[in-house]
Each structure stands twice: as C-alpha cells, then as structure tokens.
Amino acid sequence: MIAPGFAGVEAQLWIWIMAMIRPGAALMAAPVFGATSVPLQVRIILSAMIGIAATNSATINLPDATLVSYTGFLFIIGEIVCGVAIGFALQIGYSAAFVAGELISNAMGLGFASMADPQSGQSSPVIGSFLSIIAVLLLLAIDGHLMLIAIIVRSYEALPPGDAMLSPRLIMDLVEFGAMLFSMGLVIALPVGAALIIVQLVMAMLARSAPQLNLFSVGIPVAVLAGIVLLAIAAPVLADGVMRAMETGLEQSEVMAGEG
C-alpha cells in the first residue's frame, strides 16, 4: 500500500523522466556537452536539472496510453527530434572551425598531419584541432553554454511536450543552415588561405624560373613557416569569424526552438 503522502510521486517522476529526453538529446548533439570526454553521468545530471527547471514553465501531459504505444512512441520521437535539432544547429556553427582548419592545413601542406580531436574522438587536421579548441574557449567566454540551456528551457513554451514535432519549414531551415557550413568555414579561412595561395604562386614562379630548385625541399618549409606566421597575425580575425559562426548557430538553435 502506498502512503497517502507519496501517492503522486510516481507520476511526478515519470514527468521528470519525460522532461529529460529533450535536454539529453540536445546536449548529445551540441558541442562541448556532446564531447566524448564528457562522462555520460554528467550529461544525465544536466538533463535532469534542465528538464526539472523546464517543468516550471510548461505543463507536461503524458500520453493517456502507456509509453509502449503509438502515442507514447510519437511523444518520445518528437522530444528527441526537437532536442537534436536544437543542439545540432549549434554544432553546425561550431563545425565551421573544422572546415576552416582543413582548408588552412591543405594550403600549408599539413593535410597529412592529423591528431585526435577531443570533441569527436576522431582524427582531424592539426589546424582544425587548434581552431576547435579556440572555438570551445570562445563559446564558453560568450556564455554560449548558458544560452543553449536557456534556449532548451524556453523551447518548452513554444513547443510543449507531446506537440513538439518540427514543421517542414523548420526542418528546411536547418537543412539550408547546414549548407552554410562550408561558406562559414571559407570565410574563417579566407585571410590565411588567400595569403598561402599567394605564397604557393610565388614558389611556383620560382620553380619555373629556377628549374634546379627543389620545390619539395624548399616550398613545404616556406609554406609551413608562412602559415604559422599568418596564423599568429590573423588570430584576432580568425577568432572573430569563429565567434560569428557560433553566434549564428545559437540564433539557428532559437529558430529550431520555435522562437524564430
């Protein structure tokens, strides 16, 4: 027999568990929180905290049938899709740093040099890993992680649980935003990449004017040295481009949360 004071505990626990689905999906798809180095227990605790806070701003009505039913399945799928869309929008803006790093690495002749990326656990060009670390620091500096949590909480008002299926317009907005990934990466890499292309052209003209010059023994060190110097000079411009890309990702996350 359940004590009278605990009669509604089970129902409240189910509400909190269902409220954890959207934040959990968003944190898994978002940068920093979704990194392989972040323990699963931390993401579960954060999801519970965000979900419990969100229940104060929105009423969560569980399906009348059991969760192992068609309505329960739609409820869970809607929450997962909504959370993944919010986190993935920010992830696209964050990934622009990887695209820029790969372009710069290829222009420097370091396309073959790769290292393990702490966010994804996969190997990536060294310049891409360098820019990704800068992106993480800038995201934390502008309180992007807190802004993402606030967007998730506010999404419960615009897209209440049980009616959180994204409209075709929002899905198309996310697809079109994904197409901007390469353009944002190109804009970030443009200052250093354009200068490195000029360096490569100069080396090509030297190779044509002096055929006895070994292009591989001279060109690669010059390109690497020029790339390092240019990265140091253009660091403020690169940081500004990365920050603008992540701010655009946060704006797209607000659109996915139904606030746009």
The Cα-based distances of 217 to 70, 203, 222 in angstroms read: 66, 11, 9
The pTM for the full model equals 0.81
Residue 61's nearest CA partner among 53, 47, 50, 71 is 71
| CB-based contact 178:89 (threshold 8 Å) | no
**Residue 114's domain spans which residues?**
4-256
What are the pLDDT digits (tens) for 76-134? 888 888 888 889 889 988 888 888 888 888 878 776 555 555 555 566 677 878 888 88
Helix (H) or strand (E) holding 255: helix 235-256
For residues 106-135, b (16+ Cβ closer than 10 Å) or e, as one string?
bbbbbeeebeebebeeeebbbbbbbbbebb
Residue 161's nearest CA partner among 227, 258, 31 is 258
| CB-based contact 155:22 (threshold 8 Å) | yes
What are the pLDDT digits (tens) for 38-68? 888 888 899 888 888 887 777 777 776 666 6
Mean pLDDT over 225-236 rounds to 86
Model confidence at 1: pLDDT above 70: no
Q: Give the pLDDT score at 120.
A: 57
Confidence of residue 31 (pLDDT cuts 50, 70, 90): confident
Name the domain count of the chain.
1
